[in-house]
Amino acid sequence: MTLSKKDFLGLRNINCHEINEILETAKLMKYTLVKNNKKTSYLQGKTIVTLFYENSTRTRLSFELASKYMSASVANVSASSSSVAKGESLMDTGRTIERMGVDVIIIRHPLSGAAHLLARNVNVSVINAGDGMNEHPTQALLDMFTMCEKKGGIQGLQVAIIGDILHSRVARSNIWGLTTMGAKVRVAGPSTLMPPGLEDIGVQVFSNVEDAIRDADVVMALRLQKERQESSLLPSIREYSKVYGLNKERIALARKDVLIMHPGPINRGVELTSHIADCVNSTINEQVTNGVAVRMALLYLITRRRQNSNALYS
Amino acid sequence: MLCIHNGNIIDGKRKDFYQGDILIDKGKIVEISCNNLCYKAEKIIDAKNLWVMPGFIDVHCHLREPGFEYKEDIASGTRSAAAGGFTSIACMPNTKPTIDNAAMVNFIKMKAAQEGKVKVYPIGAITKGREGKELTEMKELLEAGVIALSDDGDPVSDSRIMRLALEYAGQWGLPLISHCEDKSLAKDGVMNEGIISTMLGLKGIPSAAEEIMVARDVILAGTTGAPLHIAHVSTKGSVEIIRKAKSMGIKVTCETAPHYFSADEKWVDGYDTNAKVNPPLRTEEDVEAIKKGLQDGTIDIIATDHAPHHRDEKEIEYPLAASGISGFETAFALCYTNLVTENVISLVELVNKMSTIPARIFKIHGGTLEVGKAADIAIVNLKEEYTIDVQGFYSKGKNNPFHGKKVKGKVVYTIVQGKVVYDDGKII
């Protein structure tokens, strides 16, 4: 069990075998998460750095705990409190971290392609924890893991993603991952927040949110950033929630056993009503637990790869 | 005297080529003949199997001096131009300070005379500081020696100012070169808007951002009757608007750059900052339309938009990277490989678009090989196939997405005013 590439940057260029590998491994990791003693020695002697250029609570904590449950040493670097604030370039920061005996750098960055830039310039493994509007692959992995758990598989599922697709790295990673795994992806949202050409990558685009939700197995709401209204992409948050928000009536159009997902943090009353967020079909809290499991799996697999390649050098 | 012996000569006047000798004395062509003229010369260039043509004229380049000498300067930029077969180049005024007054024009000319390898013609700004607000002293700029005016890098967003600029410069037939970009529509876009920008999660620049300004400017050129030249045409829609404008008799000319018919938006995949350029690389369909436009004459000329940058401005996050391609040293090979060997245009037409027509539009000396005229000559080997290597560039800017690509057509000699400035890989 291992991954073919040094880095884990996105789901666009990953095949279904590797995704399956991670999801299968995550299943095992989830057992340890619910155990009384969570400490395992899978990553003993490994050092992991989270390099975050954007604020994050759940993703960072999730990676940090995943590392700790497997006995890795983990350190966190934030852009605001490091030499990044003094104007150091991403490449220089990356090379500095690399020289401290680090095995994996986990990067979150507001610009698309930043993780790729770092990966090209360091020899250690790089994991993308979200780059601009491009990808957030571990989020999609945890979403797929949750779907697998609840639905027994991904193949053939009808998944509706609702909201700001244009700016969403969660949507992109899910589109790549889900289509690779044989699910059907539908999207709906304001046309001002819909990027061009989605049909060409096998996504069904609906102008009407009801049509996208009808008979769906999974409905995923995306977080709406308040800035979208300020930059005129939307007339108002109010109208957004009225036209695109998930509520009881809309969810009733989906399959009875529909999963309601959200990458978090949620805006109650905007993307979805509290009723929907807290209903039995909602997996929002479960997704968080699964996030730790898939990140443990990914770290485990990627460091095993490093072990093998390091052996070649010595 | 220098004799270019037994080359295939394209003189920029005839529609075909002929074999012959060119004799050069005191910077000028003194004789062109089908007979051997070697006996008259002390120095001979054997041009057997080579092609002899008027030196290329680039009306759109960035020499970066003054202000950005870390990217390029007149010395390095003109060496790069010479290596690309260019004998005359026109540099854009987006320097620091801006070339928006006669003193700056004189500075560029003086520097070029001292350190330059090829002839440099400054382009003045349309507005002071290229801020789009107040017109520059255009008559004085013209007298100082500018061949055109442009706020390149930025458009003149205010339509009234653009109209006034056309009217005022038009009095003396001084062309305006328009960088067509609706800034509010392009906003913070960093590549062409389309499937690739969707896939990469990068903000897109729609074709409309270019086309709206092309349409505005040709309408203004029509109402003012002033000469207008559209810079770096990159979209199908722009080609169609210009074609229509020309059919209506509007005095508009335009250029495209080699990268707009040699690469498309897919080149950005992998976040290649060397493929980041403004206007952005467009779609395959646009590339085809650009070729069509070159073929039917809608696109008059090819200019490089040589835009060198330092590697620190390119080896960074894609959205933050500087836009531009260091293009002098790949221009001819890309044109020859992608246009002539693909039967889009003939070699003679290519020479027209890279030399004869730009000379005519901007009233620059050169563009033809004629007795009595300055000996500005490029000699190329069309057979030689090679791999582009940016490390061999004379330009300080190594930013070029064609690095590693196989091309055909190599500049072997560049002669400026009778002096060999580039000889088989070496600047002299």
* CB contacts, 8 Å: B317 with chain A: 90, 109, 111, 113-114, 117
Chain B nearest-CA residue for A121: B315
Cα B57 from Cα B276, distance rounded (Å): 25
Q: By CA distance, what is A135's nearest residue in B?
A: B201
Is the model's pLDDT at A314 over the cut of 60?
Answer: no
Q: How confident is the model at residue A310 (pLDDT cuts 50, 70, 90)?
A: very low
Contact list in B for residue A172 (CB cut-off 8 A) is 199, 201
A116/B270 Cα distance (integer angstroms):
8
What distance in Å separates the CA atoms of residue A6 and residue A177, rounded to the nearest whole number?
19
Query: What's the sign of the alpha-carbon dihedral A34, A38, A41, A47?
Result: positive
Whether B307 is in a domain gets the answer yes
Given B361, B382, B417, the domain boundary residue is B361
Q: Which CATH number fits the domain that encloses residue B38?
A: 2.30.40.10
CA closest to A134 among chain B residues: B201
State whether residue A128 is helix, strand or coil: strand
Residue B386 forms part of a structural domain: yes
- Please check whether residue A244 is in contact with residue A190, taking contact to mean a CB–CB distance below 8 angstroms: yes
Is residue B301 classed as helix, strand or coil in its secondary structure?
A: strand
Instruction: Considering only CA atoms, give the Rg of chain A.
Output: 19
The number of residues making up chain B comes to: 428
Angle at B310 between CA B304 and CA B311, to 5 degrees: 110
**Which residue carries 């509520």 as its tokens?**
A247
Decide: B279 and B234 in contact? Cβ < 8 Å: yes
Task: Please check whether residues B329 and B396 belong to one and the same domain.
Answer: no
SS3 string, A261-282, reads ECCCCCCECCCECHHHHCCCCE
H or E segment and range at residue B426: strand B426-427
Q: Any idea how long chain A is?
A: 314
CA neighbor of B87 nearest in space, from B110, B46, B67, B116: B116
**Apex A181 CA angle, A179 and A184, nearest 5:** 40
Neighbours of B344 (CB within 10 A): 18
Residue A80 pLDDT level (bands cut at 50, 70, 90): confident
Identify whether B367 is part of a domain.
Answer: no
Other beta carbons less than 10 A from residue B157's beta carbon: 16
Output the domain CATH number for residue B348.
3.20.20.140
Tally of CB atoms within 10 A around A269: 14
Say if residue B42 is in the same domain as residue B59.
Answer: no
On whether both B18 and B48 belong to a single domain, the answer is yes
Nearest CA in chain A to B204: A195
What is the arrangement of strands in the sheet containing B119-122, beginning at the earlier edge strand?
B56-61, B86-91, B119-122
In what side-by-side order are the strands of the sheet with B176-178? B149-150, B176-178, B228-230, B252-256, B301-302
Does some domain include residue B366?
A: no
Q: Which of the 8 DSSP states describes residue B38?
A: G
How many H helices and E strands in chain B?
A: 13, 19
B271 Cβ contact list (under 8 Å, min separation 6): A112, A113, A116, A117, B200, B318
Number of domains chain B contains:
2
Within-domain flag for B331:
yes
Asked if residue B211 and residue B173 are part of one domain, the reply reads: yes
Q: Is the dihedral of CA A91, A97, A99, A103 positive or negative?
A: negative
The beta-carbon neighbor of A113 closest among B193, B312, B317 is B317
Distance from C-alpha of A109 to C-alpha of A28, rounded to nearest angstrom: 30
Indicate if B148 and B287 belong to the same structural domain: yes
The boundaries of the domain holding residue B77 are: 55-361
Q: Are residues B100 and B71 in the same domain?
A: yes
d(CA B369, CA B349): 15
pLDDT tens figures, A1-19? 678 899 999 999 999 999 9
B305 is catalytic: yes
Q: Indicate whether A45 pLDDT > 90.
A: yes
B374-401 core/surface letters (b: 16 or more CB in 10 A; e: else): bbbbbbbbbeeeeebebeebbbbbbbbb
Interface of B with A in 189-248 (CB under 8 A): 193-195, 197-204
Given B305, B312, B376, B424, which residue is catalytic?
A: B305
Residue A64 region by backbone torsions, left for phi larger than 0, else alpha for psi between -120 and 50, else beta: alpha
pLDDT at A94: 95
Q: Which two tokens stand for residue A185?
A: 């992806």
Closest CA to A10 of A131, A120, A95: A131
- Cα A66 to its chain centre, rounded Å, is 15
User: Which position has the token pair 């109650």?
Assistant: A268
Which of B197, B317, B320 has the highest number of chain A CBs within 10 A, making it the mutation to test binding with A? B317
Spatial distance between the Cα atoms of B253 and B246, rounded to a whole number of angstroms: 8
Asked if residue B97 and residue B25 are part of one domain, the reply reads no
- Shared-domain flag, residues B410 and B335: no
> With 0-12 CB in 10 A as exposed, 13-18 as middle and 19+ as buried, what is A71?
middle
pTM: predicted TM-score of the whole model, two decimal places: 0.95
Can you give the pLDDT of all 428 residues of chain B as single tens digits? 999 999 999 999 999 999 999 999 999 999 999 999 999 999 999 999 999 999 999 999 999 999 999 999 999 999 999 999 999 999 999 999 999 999 999 999 999 999 999 999 999 999 999 999 999 999 999 999 999 999 999 999 999 999 999 999 999 999 999 999 999 999 999 999 999 999 999 999 999 999 999 999 999 999 999 999 999 999 999 999 999 999 999 999 999 999 999 999 999 999 999 999 999 999 999 999 999 999 999 999 999 999 999 999 999 999 999 999 999 999 999 999 999 999 999 999 999 999 999 999 999 999 999 999 999 999 999 999 999 999 999 999 999 999 999 999 999 999 999 999 999 999 99
pLDDT at A118: 97
CB B316 within 8 A of CB B276: no
Burial of B134 (0-12, 13-18, 19+ CB in 10 A): exposed
In this structure, of A74-83, A99-108, B60-69, B88-97, the range with the lowest mean pLDDT score is A74-83
DSSP 8-state secondary structure symbol assigned to residue A199: G
- The whole-angstrom separation of Cα A131 and Cα B201 is 9
HSE-up (13 A, CA, CB side) for residue B229: 29
Phi and psi torsions of A5, nearest 5°: -110, 160
Q: Minimal CA–CA distance to B272: which of A283, A41, A212, A117?
A: A117
Distance CA B239, CA B286 (A): 9
Q: How many CB pairs under 8 A join A and B?
A: 64
Query: Which one of A172, A197, A201 has the shortest CB-CB distance to B201?
Result: A172
Minimal CA–CA distance to B370: which of B15, B87, B12? B12
Q: What's the confidence (pLDDT) of residue A2?
A: 72
Give the distance from residue A113's alpha carbon to the nearest chain B alpha carbon, in angstroms: 6
Q: B313 lies in a domain?
A: yes
Q: Do B147 and B15 share a domain, yes or no?
A: no
The tokens describing B270, both together, are 């992998």
Q: A174-188, A189-203, A229-243, B381-395: lowest mean pLDDT where? A: A229-243
CA dihedral (A140, A146, A150, A152) positive or negative:
positive
Report ipTM for this prediction: 0.93
Q: What is the mean pLDDT of chain A?
A: 93
Contact B254, B242 (CB under 8 A): yes
- What confidence tier does A312 reach under pLDDT thresholds 50, 70, 90? very low
CA distances from B56 to B81, B274, B379 (A): 9, 24, 10
Do the domain assignments include residue B368? no
Residue B283, domain member (yes or no)? yes
pLDDT exceeds cutoff 70 at A309: no
Domain check: are B299 and B395 in the same one?
Answer: no
Rounded to a whole number, what is the distance in Å from the CA of A224 to chain B's nearest CA?
17
Q: Which of these, B348, B412, B331, lies nearest to B9 by C-alpha position?
A: B348
Residue pair B232/B60 in contact (Cβ under 8 Å)? The answer is: yes
What chain A holds in terms of domains, given with CATH numbers, is 16-136+288-312 (3.40.50.1370), 137-286 (3.40.50.1370)
Residue in the structure block whose two tokens are 């500005």: B376
Q: Which of B338, B361, B384 is the last residue of a domain?
A: B361
Report the alpha-carbon distance of residue A102 to residue A113 in Å, rounded: 22
Contacts of A122 in chain B (CB under 8 A): none
Name the token pair of A160: 């509706």
Residue A220 CA: distances (Å) to CA of A70, B216, B298: 30, 44, 50
Give Dmax (Cα) for chain B.
Answer: 66
Q: What does the pLDDT read at residue A4?
A: 84
Residues of chain A positioned with their CB less than 8 A from the CB of B276: none
Q: Say yes or no: B217 and B153 in one domain.
A: yes
Q: b vs e for B289-299, b when ≥16 Cβ sit within 10 Å of the residue's Cβ?
A: bbbbbbeeebb
Domain edge (last residue) among B332, B361, B390: B361
Contact between chains at B317 and A90 (C-beta distance less than 8 A):
yes
pLDDT of residue A307: 56
Regarding whether B337 and B389 lie in a shared domain, the answer is no
